[in-house]
C-alpha cells in the first residue's frame, strides 16, 4: 500500500535526523522517500503495514508535522 503525507520537513539534514524513526516503522519490506522540492514537502511511504497515527505521533515528538493527503 502507498501513503502520501504533507510534512514540515524542509532540509536533507532533517530527513537524516528522522530516518531512524521512518525505518523502524516502514521496514522490513517497505520504503520511504521525500520530495523536498514539492510545496507540501511530500513523504511517500510504500509498506504492507503502517500505523499512521503511531507514525504521526513519533514524528511529532521529533518536531515534524505530518498530515496524510487524501488520495
pLDDT digits (tens, 9 = 90+) for 18-36: 999 999 999 888 999 999 9
| Mean pLDDT for all residues in the chain | 95
pLDDT of residue 71: 65
Q: Is the pLDDT of residue 57 over 80?
A: yes
Domains observed in the chain: 2-68 (3.30.70.100)
- How many residues are given for the chain? 71
Task: Flag whether pLDDT at 39 surpasses 70.
Answer: yes
Helix, coil or strand: residue 24: helix
Residue 27 · residue 3 · CB < 8 Å = no
Whether the pLDDT of residue 49 is over 90: the answer is no
The owner of cell 532533517 is: 14
Amino acid at each position: 500500500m502507498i501513503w502520501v503525507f504533507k510534512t514540515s520537513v524542509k532540509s536533507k539534514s532533517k530527513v537524516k535526523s528522522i530516518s531512524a524513526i521512518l525505518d523502524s516503522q516502514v521496514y522490513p519490506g517497505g520504503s520511504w522517500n521525500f520530495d523536498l522540492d514539492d510545496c507540501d514537502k511530500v513523504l511517500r511511504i510504500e509498506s504492507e503495514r503502517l500505523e499512521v497515527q503511531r507514525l504521526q505521533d513519533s514524528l511529532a515528538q521529533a518536531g515534524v508535522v505530518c498530515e496524510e493527503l487524501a488520495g
